[in-house]
Chain A
């Protein structure tokens, strides 16, 4: 592999350059806050946010555990529902015509409007938050996987037919593996939205979770804590993204080596 060094350098650049941008942004922010002496409840400096994060680290960890639980359960539910819907509408053209447009249309309903209904129906417990996450996440999974099934190379399907394969064999041996990269594209998007879904669910009413921590902090004008929560949410989202990415590389090494 003579390109090794180039690849390594490329990877470092893709890592270092955005880090540099971020650092520059934070330094500007810090300096501006110090120079203008803006009030802390209005806009805390990055250093103050980090200090706040450190001082409430145990509290925030407790809330994070709750949010993570909701996120993972919701995401898992979304995967199951998304895979089932996409597979079913791939199996039956009629079902696709009957359901698919409605699934697309359903995405125009703002989640913020549906979430209070879920609270009314299912109370303040875990379930409504899991459902909000699932509602946010199933869509990209469904749509991407549906596309994946549909866009399988027709040559592959012809060959399998010519060799006498039945529908189930074609699905298992060609469509499913061929659609994997699409499924993971959907899961990547779903993963990045999932934490946000949980936080939205918690805003509307909860006893624990990063969402309720944010609401309480902002009501008490503890703006540095709001920012601390934002940092944690970002880290969680990134972690889920990386987890999905790792899972994708593990399950489809052929897809990554090909390039």
Chain B
């Protein structure tokens, strides 16, 4: 029986806006990521995916519920997980090596040692020729790989990836998914991956949590029975299509229907 790496139990988050209005961003949300498991959170924008990630990263604190990493509460604690934001957020004043070693520097690793470690990892991330390049010289995919290496060098047991390929074009995106599959196969990290791309979620994940908005909550958990190792070509397989159909059905009945209802209500006003 594999153990839970991350446990999110009954977590709610309320944001207060101007004029005293409050918004329930997350409503008693629970999920788990097991050791070496790839879990995706998928849902329309505004469903609280990023809020959930912020809570796990310790950037905000929940109004109720608990967040455990390997059994220990990490509520409000930063630096406990590896976090990769939506955009690459590479520092323009650092070259690739100096960008990716930032987490090592924060942990007090000596500069020469940190650089040596990063240089040794560059080939696996397809960046060996770009060690001394500055971010503006890199393509979108390369920037994202550098950002991923930086996340990897945080060296925490759980990786939070917030729509890492959201800003890439479709082809680069496909390429990066294949690349991420390879990397994951090699390092077997526990990953919590946020996306709004159905294909991407199915292709990469062991389990998917589908979230619905206002208030954000988990609608359904779907296991992905596709075999490992995976390949981007698998999107054309029969099993894949069947899973996608099921997921689409959940989206149609659970989310799109609800949205139509609310937009219809709004019209009445």
Contact = CB atoms under 8 A, between A and B. Distances in A.
Main secondary structure of the interface of A (DSSP, over half): helix
Interface stretch (A8-16, A43-51, A172-180): A172-180
A163 interface: yes
B193 interface: no
A258 B136 contact: yes
Given A153-B89, A156-B91, A252-B93, A173 B105 contact: yes
A187 B106 CA distance: 31
A161 B85 contact: no
> In this complex, which of B87, B103, B154 has the most chain A Cβ atoms within 10 angstroms of its Cβ?
B103
Contacts of B87: 155
Contact of B85 (A155, A164, A177, A257): A155
A218 B9 CA distance: 84
A68 B89 CA distance: 43
A169 interface: yes
Contacts of A257: 134, 136
Nearest to A157: B89
A150 interface: no
Interface in A134-169: 153, 155-156, 158-165, 169
Interface in B29-77: 57-59
Size range of the chain A interface in the assembly? 20 to 34
Contact of B154 (A163, A174, A180, A254): A163
A164 B78 contact: yes
A178 B105 CA distance: 18
Contact of B102 (A173, A178, A180, A254): A173
Nearest to A176: B93
A32 B20 CA distance: 72
A159 B83 contact: yes
B2 interface: no
B92 interface: yes
Contacts of B102: 160, 163, 173
A91 B136 CA distance: 30
Complex A-B, nearest 3 residue pairs according to Cβ-Cβ distance, in ascending order: A164-B79, A162-B83, A177-B93
Interface of B: 57-59, 78-80, 83, 85, 87, 89, 91-93, 102-103, 105-106, 134, 136, 154
Given A155-B89, A159-B85, 14 more contacts: A158-B59, A159-B83, A159-B89, A162-B78, A163-B78, A163-B79, A163-B102, A163-B103, A173-B105, A177-B93, A178-B93, A252-B93, A254-B93, A258-B136
